[in-house]
Structure formats: C-alpha cells, structure tokens
Structure 1
Amino acid sequence: MGHTEVLEIVISSALAIAAPLVIALCSVIWVELVRDVYHFLAHVWQPLYRLHSWHHRIFKPDLSVNSEAIYRQANWYNDLPESLVMLTFSFIYAFTVIQTQWINPDYQWLVWTGSFYTLTFTAGAIARGLGVPYADAITDVTHRQGDFTNIPANLFVNRPYHWRHHFDDQNAYFCGTITVIDRIMGTALSLKGKKVIVTGANGTLGQALIKQLYLKGAKITALTSQEKELFISVKNQQIPIKTVTWQIGRESELNQLLTKTDILIINHGINVHGEKSAEAIEKSYEVNTFSGWRLMELFLDTVKTNQDKATKEIWVNTSEAEVNPAFSPLYEMSKRTMGELVTMKRVNAPCIIRKLILGPFKSNLNPIGIMSAEWVAQQIVNLAVRDFRDIIVTINPLTYMLFPIKEFTTANYFRWFTR
C-alpha cells in the first residue's frame, strides 16, 4: 500500500469521526439559537411576554431576589416553558438528520446531544421551581450575586453581559449562552439613553458620529476646542448638541464630566503631513497620543461599580496607520503609539475598550480621502452594536488581514510581560 492510499484512509477515517461530532455540536448550537429567538419573541409577543415578565420581576440591581416566591414562580412560568420549546426543536433537529441520513447509523445517538443538553435546563428549572437547596447556585450562574470579576464577554454570555439585559436595556442582550443572535440583530450593545462624549466633535467624522449615535438614542456631549455650540441636521431639522469647550493638556478638568459618562469616544487628532520639525513632533504626539491617553486613564479611574464595569466603554480612533502607511510619518508614528497604549491597557481593563481602525475618509485632515465620513460613521455604529471590539472600516483588504494578527501578537506580548 502506497503513501497516497494510506493518506486517503487516514483522511477518510478522520472525516468519518469528525462529521458526527460536528452534527452533535450543531445540535447544541441549534437549541441555543432556539432559546434566544424564543427570548426575543417573549419581548415582542404579548402572550409570551406575560410569562416572561415574571423573570424580570425577580432581581434587584445587585442580582439579589425581590422575593423567593416570585423566583420560584418565574421558573415555572418562564424557564420551564422555554426549555420545553428548546426540547421540542431538538427533537425536530434529530428526526431531520436521521431522516435525511446525514449521519452513519452507528453514530445516530449523537443527534440527540442537543436534547440531552436541553434536559439539563429543564431539570434545573424544575429544581429551582421546587426550591431545591443550592439548585439556583448550580444552575443559574448568570444571575449570581457578587462583584463582577470581568467585563461583558464578546462571544459567550457572562454575568456582566446578562446583567445589561435586566438593568441596561431589556430590549437588547437577548442571548443566553452564545451571542450570535444579538450580533446578527444588532442588540449586543444598546446605545439607547447612553451618555456619550465625543472628542474632535467639530471635525468631519466627529459630526457624522454624533448624528449616528443620536439616531440610536444616545445622549451626546460634544467636546471641541472651538467656542461654539454644535448642531446636527436630522430630517431637515437643526438639532442642538450639548457642547463643552476644552483644550489639549487640560484633560483633568473633564473628570467630573467623565464620571457621569457611559461611553467616551476619543476621536480628536492632527495631521502635520510631511513636517518633521521639533514643534511638529511635539504637537503630533501631544494631540494624537498623550491627550487621548490621559483621557483614557481618567475615564478608567471612574469605573468602580458593577454597573460601571457592565456599561462603561471607551472607543479610540487609532486609524489603520497602526498597520499600514498613511504617507504622513508623524501621523503614523503618533497613532501607532496610541494604538499600542490602547492594546496594553485593554489586556486587563475594567471596562470594554474598542478600537476604530479607519481607512482614508474625506475630511479636513485628509481632503483626498476616498470614503465619506457619513458612511464610515454609520459602519462604526453598526459594528459597535454587534459588539465588534476592533471596528475596521476601510477599502484596503490588507488591513482586515494584518490588523488582527498584529493585535493578537501585541496583546499577548503585553499579557506575558506586563503586570
């Protein structure tokens, strides 16, 4: 038997084993998607909401229960029906796979993985409904009390992520275990009612971002160095935006404002193009790097409570100059330095920090930009509400390949060699 035949046998055997395991994994993902769709429908369809509303009557903001009796009732009215719907759809999945003969008969038992998985939820709901001791601690992990030891997770639901569904916006954060449905629907971050500060607000992108955030229901404070009130145009109406005048180097004067802010967007910058004088170097780093870094540090010091950890965020416009040339050396160098600082800080940051990796858009800083600032701002917000932590908006395909590699390696370097 030749090497080719042996390789073919090995590959064939591997596929024969892998295919049933994939089908088993898909059965678990399937019931989780069913649960999240059921949860979403329970917020928009009144008959289901009458049952689901019991769940929202249970908890106080510290996740202690308002009433043990209501907690037990909610498991009968919400959690048990939800798990039974999941179980029903797990049967549909299993019968479909068996009928279509997608799996070897010897491995057909694996199609019931989703059903066995769902039965743990059913048993947990019954145990909690009966008041079995410690059943809640073992089976209801996203509602446990105590300090949050991490920030809202990105791909999987943890306590801070689910806390937001109860106390930030009940019309968002629907997912129970994996965040796929929220990311698809744009409900992985709610901007409704959020107090947002935007620096560089008088710039082209700043104004476009303010408009998009306003349309999502955010309460905006515009930070600008100019002594004038800013307006945005919405449906042919001029909407005044709360405007605060500030100067680079006086970031500490904003401390009280930052304390009351949910999302800080660091967007200000300068481009000295081909200059390389000592004054140009100092100005580029002061505006593009150190000013933003000082604001970031001040804001991070305001993150103290569970609510702060769950809802506060920083968005930093670092530019695709982090990985690609911008044909403006000082702009590239100062932006890259800011990007490195952001990467280092978010290794163990107490709140979410997002990077805005933006390609060339037309603005006062870059009059020959290709993309429109309005379109870029729209994409930023669309990706943010889908919980992208690195928001890349560019026409350069290399950035989509190079930046994740650079960010992964740099983040791990900082994780290994910093405390």
Structure 2
Amino acid sequence: MIDIIFIITLCLGSIIWVEIVRDLYHILAHNWQTLYRFHNWHHRVFDSNFNSVNKEIYRKAHWYNDVPESLVMIVFGTIPVTILWFLNISYWWFAELGSFYSLFFLLGAVARGLGISNIDKLTDFTHNPGEFSSLPSQWFVNRPYHWRHHFDNQKAYYSGTLTLIDKIMGTALSLKGKTIGVTGSSGTLGIAILKILHLNQAKIVAFSSQDKSIVLDINGNSLPVKTLVWETGQEYKLIDELSKIDILIINHGINVNNKKNIESIRQSYEINTFSGCRLMDLFIKTIKTNRDKACKEIWVNTSESEVIPAFSPLYELSKRALGNLVTLRRLDAPCIVRKLILGPFKSKLNPIGILSADWVAKKIIRDAKKDYRNIIVTINPATYLVFPLKELFQSFYFKIFTSKSFN
C-alpha cells in the first residue's frame, strides 16, 4: 500500500513539476525581452474571440513559442528522475511521467505548427473560439481564465493548466485598470478599500449615501474620487453606472446594536440584506459579453456574523440573511461572486473593534488577487474552520433543491 501511494505521488509530483516549469518559463518570457520577442508571436495570433487572425502567424507562433516551451518542460522533467536515480530511490522511473506528459504538448505544438486541420480543437482547449459557457475557474485554467491573460493584463494570469503559480504570486486576479465601485464608501472600511484599490492601479468609484464627495489622503496628497450618491430602495437609478463597473464591492451596512423594534427590524433588513440583493441583480443584468463573464465580479461583505455571534441580534440576522442569499444566488451567477467574511474591525459601526480597517482592506485585496472566493479576515480561528464547512454544505443543499435561475 505504501509503495502504491509513493508511486502515485511520484507520478502526480512529476506532472505538477513540469507544469510549474511551464509557468515559470511563461513568466520569464514576459520579463526577458530576448525571450519575449518569440513569445509575442503567441499574443499576435488571436482576436478577442480567440479566432486566429492569420494562418501564417498562427503556425509561426507555435514554432517560436509552444515548441520551445514544451522542450523546456521535457528537459526539466528529467531533473527529478536524475535526482531519484542518483539517490538510488525505488521506482525512480515513474518520475519520467512528467517528461512523457510534456511530450504530448510538444506533439500538439508541432502539429499546430504544421497547420494540420482542426488539430487545435483537440490539443489547445484554452484558445478555442466561441461564447464562454463557464466562468474563470479557480484551480484549473480554462478559456475565460486564460482569455484574461491575452486581453485583460499580460502581466497576470500566467498559469497554463494549474493556477498554483498565479495564486502564490498574487497574479490570479489583476485589478490594474479595472473600474471598481465600492458601496459604503464614506465608512471606515470603504475608505480603506478605496485607498488600497487606488494603489493597485484600479479606477475607483465611490457609492455613498452621504451627499459629500469622497477625498482620499494618499501619502499626504488629496485624491478626489468620483462619488455617486444613492439611497436604498432606488438602486435601479444606478443601472447605467453599474454597466461601466468591472467589480462591484457591496460593503454598506447598518448596526442598530441592541434595538429590536419594528422600525429597526425594517431598517436592518432593508439596508443590510435587500439593498445588497437588488444591487447584485442589477449588476448581473449588465453581464452580456465574453469580456463581462471573464472580468466582471461582485464582492459582498457579509460579515463574520454569518457563523459567529456579533452581539447585535438584528445585525447578525440581517447579515446572515444576506450571506445565505449570496450563497444561493452565486450558484448560477454569470460572474464570479466573492464573499468577504470579516471579523471585528474598528469603525463607526463598531467603535470597540479590534482589527485595523487598513489592515483588513490590505488582506482583502491580497487574498482576492490570489483568487480566494471566500475571503476570511478575522482573529477568531473558529471562523476559518466553521465558515468553509457551513458554505460547503449549504451550497450543496441549495444546489439540490433549487433550479437554475440565471440565463
């Protein structure tokens, strides 16, 4: 049994190793001008729908980029084999699987370079043209994920099959140049998020319920931010602005603390729950093209109170309801929907909070760039265990007993 486990580990490890080699080669190609002259042929091949623009360029791209890349994978795939053989470790030959795996990439690249008809449909899945039928994958590279490398940011989304390297480097999501709207922008966390987004070269838009323009203090310099004034119940007025947004961060909320009268109940659910849901639905209506499916996202601050008491019953109930509805709606949403599960940070809503809003904002952006779909930032270790289990079983339950709702 131990031998079988060891052999499987060798086989999988050798494949993961050559995939890492491929991704590192790709990164080098974008940062070493000599190599980029060859790699650039690959970026000249396709239009924004992954149609080949020129047959001659298409063939040259594979001779200049894909074939050398595959050869590098094969050569470096022999390193684990050599080390294991030198150390006289049993079953060392199973580590050859990485090189054999790479050989299939080489044969496919050669076939495409020769211009064999329709061979790309069998050997180059991430560049097949047509409408996207899925969203960017979290663990394995698919067409929408790789599309972003070509047409969103060539300095991100480097991974070829596994997204491991992008997650480690924080290049699994690029914020550069994206238009990002943040609700609750006049609050402590909203301001902190806007600052970090600006430092990540995003175009920021503040959504505020206060009739006052947002101005950020960036290293002692004042930065006016485009501010849109809105109020709950009139989200429909934002539809034109939402169509221009790439990432919508739903961050607004209210905390009535120990109140429990009917007006507090109405206010808590209207602001914390239903307003966020209406914004989600409006934003989803703006998703129409392949670019929208690949690049548009919704981030929802549902709070740690989804699973942990916040010592404010109506805040807990309304935020928990929002979290449950987000879990339900994102099953079939036509864009990536992330949850922000945040612990007690110091703010106007929570003056006794322990965490710094600036630190929380930095952690949110860092984890988003690693493509975490559930971003947990808290000092409570129980949340890191309880929330993923809750989300897993609840998603499974919702998926079984609901039908698809989005087209």
TM over 0.5: yes
Does residue 289 of structure 1 match 2:270?
no
Q: What SS does the aligned partner of 1:154 have?
A: coil
State TM-score, norm by structure 1.
Answer: 0.95
- Which residue of 314, 319, 322 maps to 1:338? 322
CA deviation vs aligned residue, 1:141-184 (integer Å, no higher than 9, x gap): 00001111110000110000000000000110000000011111
- Measure, in 2, the Cα distance between the counterparts of 1:24 and 1:319: 42
Residue in structure 2 matched with residue 28 of structure 1 by the alignment: 15
Q: What SS does the aligned partner of 2:300 have?
A: strand
- Which residue of 195, 199, 207 maps to 2:183? 199
- Measure, in 1, the Cα distance between the counterparts of 2:356 and 2:68: 48
Q: What SS does the aligned partner of 1:153 have?
A: coil
AA of the residue aligned to 2:173: L
AA of the residue aligned to 1:160: P
Residues 166-315 of structure 1: matches in 2 within 5 Å? 166-315=150-299
Residue in structure 2 matched with residue 87 of structure 1 by the alignment: 74
Report the Cα offset of residue 21 of structure 1.
1.1
- Measure, in 2, the Cα distance between the counterparts of 1:394 and 1:101: 47
AA of the residue aligned to 1:120: F
How large is the RMSD of aligned CA atoms in angstroms? 0.7
Does residue 150 of structure 1 match 2:124?
no
Report the Cα offset of residue 301 of structure 1.
1.0
AA of the residue aligned to 1:374: D
Report the Cα offset of residue 232 of structure 1.
1.0
Residue in structure 2 matched with residue 401 of structure 1 by the alignment: 385
Report the Cα offset of residue 253 of structure 1.
0.1
Report the Cα offset of residue 109 of structure 1.
2.7
Unmatched runs of 5 consecutive residues or more in structure 1 = 1-13
Report the Cα offset of residue 108 of structure 1.
3.1
Asked whether the equivalents of residues 343 and 378 of structure 2 are also in contact (C-alpha less than 8 Å), the reply is: yes
Asked whether the equivalents of residues 81 and 93 of structure 2 are also in contact (C-alpha less than 8 Å), the reply is: no
Residue in structure 1 matched with residue 59 of structure 2 by the alignment: 72
Q: What SS does the aligned partner of 2:274 have?
A: helix
CA deviation vs aligned residue, 1:68-87 (integer Å, no higher than 9, x gap): 11000000000000011111
- Measure, in 1, the Cα distance between the counterparts of 2:339 and 2:392: 13
AA of the residue aligned to 2:124: D
Residue in structure 2 matched with residue 133 of structure 1 by the alignment: 117
- Measure, in 2, the Cα distance between the counterparts of 1:44 and 1:204: 38
AA of the residue aligned to 1:402: V
Identity of aligned residues (%): 57
Q: What SS does the aligned partner of 1:220 have?
A: strand
Does residue 373 of structure 1 match 2:357?
yes
Does residue 99 of structure 1 match 2:86?
yes
- Measure, in 2, the Cα distance between the counterparts of 1:134 and 1:113: 27
Report the Cα offset of residue 140 of structure 1.
0.6
Structure index of larger Rg: 1
Report the Cα offset of residue 101 of structure 1.
3.0
Does residue 59 of structure 1 match 2:46?
yes
- Measure, in 2, the Cα distance between the counterparts of 1:98 and 1:277: 74
Asked whether the equivalents of residues 60 and 113 of structure 2 are also in contact (C-alpha less than 8 Å), the reply is: yes
Report the Cα offset of residue 30 of structure 1.
0.2
Report the Cα offset of residue 93 of structure 1.
1.6
CA deviation vs aligned residue, 1:11-69 (integer Å, no higher than 9, x gap): xxx11111111011100000000000000010000111011000000000011011011
- Measure, in 1, the Cα distance between the counterparts of 2:373 and 2:61: 34
- Measure, in 2, the Cα distance between the counterparts of 1:144 and 1:101: 44
Does residue 391 of structure 1 match 2:387?
no
- Measure, in 2, the Cα distance between the counterparts of 1:304 and 1:118: 37
Residue in structure 2 matched with residue 347 of structure 1 by the alignment: 331
AA of the residue aligned to 2:100: F
Report the Cα offset of residue 227 of structure 1.
1.2
Asked whether the equivalents of residues 192 and 357 of structure 2 are also in contact (C-alpha less than 8 Å), the reply is: yes
CA deviation vs aligned residue, 1:72-114 (integer Å, no higher than 9, x gap): 0000000000011111100112111221233x2xx33311100
CA deviation vs aligned residue, 1:305-332 (integer Å, no higher than 9, x gap): 1110000000000001000000000000
Report the Cα offset of residue 192 of structure 1.
0.5
AA of the residue aligned to 2:64: Y
- Measure, in 1, the Cα distance between the counterparts of 2:71 and 2:93: 20
Report the Cα offset of residue 351 of structure 1.
0.4
- Measure, in 1, the Cα distance between the counterparts of 2:385 and 2:192: 27
- Which residue of 320, 325, 328 maps to 2:312? 328
State TM-score, norm by structure 2.
Answer: 0.98
Q: What SS does the aligned partner of 1:124 have?
A: helix
